[in-house]
Amino acid sequence: MAMCTNLLQGQASEWALLRRHSSEDLFGVQICGAYPDTVTRTAELIDQECTVDFIDINMGCPIDIVVNKGAGSSLLTKPMRMKSIIEATSGTVEKPITVKVRTGYFEGKNRIDSLIVDIGKWGASAVTIHGRSRQQRYSKLADWDYIYQCARKSPDSLQVLGNGDVFSFVDWNKHKSDCPELSSCMIARGALIKPWIFTEIKEQRHWDISSGERLNILKDYVRSGLEHWGSDTKGVETTRHFLLEWLSYTYRYVPVGLLDVIPQRLNWRPPSYYGRDDLETLMASDSAADWIRISEMLLGKVPDSFTFAPKHKSNAYDRAENG
């Protein structure tokens, strides 16, 4: 997600978020803004400067700094502003415009079902519905019955994608079979915790991945980071920063071979356990000190007085205030 105001100000770090890698055969960018003029101008710039297949407008982000500016899920309380943004943007660029929403702003006051037909009329090509309200943040389970209800009400011209707690090919298959009207499912935290989920869906299997195979994925990530940011001290520490943020999610994965019940659910809070080898045990630790140890295996010793605290609170389990 890139903020429209930062893009319009020419912030290099924000524009870097929109860079496409040569391996990406289908690529869209998500932008977040509060007003039709800023979102439309940003979409125009992206259309001119970037190689993208679609532009997604975020109307679901729950974090305070975004909501307080009138963007993200704040827009769910302002349907006429939603209308203006979608109409203006879809009328300005040729690329498909898609929208990401939550069920509503307040818990128990879902409103996307009453807007789903309009969202299609306003010019959106697709809408992704995260089955939680803004007030829920990441607590409780996503409401897939409500997502299905919206998908069944949507016009033929609007593709509907469901989002929330997909963590295995079993979850994926269930949602697709329960509601054929769904175009697809979006995977978010599940891909951070176990990025091989896409292999599992494609091959329809539970992959009992070894700690060595998981370490190889981290090595690939670090290699890409050093290629991207450079292998000088600054490049190493930038790569380490993003690696540590990622490790604050990956520790939640429980190896298939250790599960009593398969598949693991995203909201399970697993007990502390010993892995089948020392590395698997280390990878299961919820301690930032152990995440730093893993980073040192890949990037060398951290600087003196180095500390780390995760920035993204969606890695936590069930605290409603998490953003």
d(CA 120, CA 101): 13
Q: For residue 260, with 0-12 CB atoms within 10 Å meaning exposed, 13-18 middle and 19 or more buried, which class applies?
A: exposed
In whole angstroms, give the CA distance from residue 62 to residue 57: 14
For residues 127 and 46, give the distance between their C-alpha atoms in angstroms, rounded to a whole number: 20
Q: Which of 4, 32, 50, 61 is catalytic?
A: 61
Q: What are the tokens at 35?
A: 């007003």
And the tokens for 140?
Answer: 């409780």
Note if 61 is an active site residue. Answer: yes
Who contacts 184 (Cβ-Cβ below 8 Å, separation ≥6)? 159, 161, 162, 176
Nearest to 160 by CA among 173, 175, 169, 148: 148
Instruction: List active site positions.
Output: 61
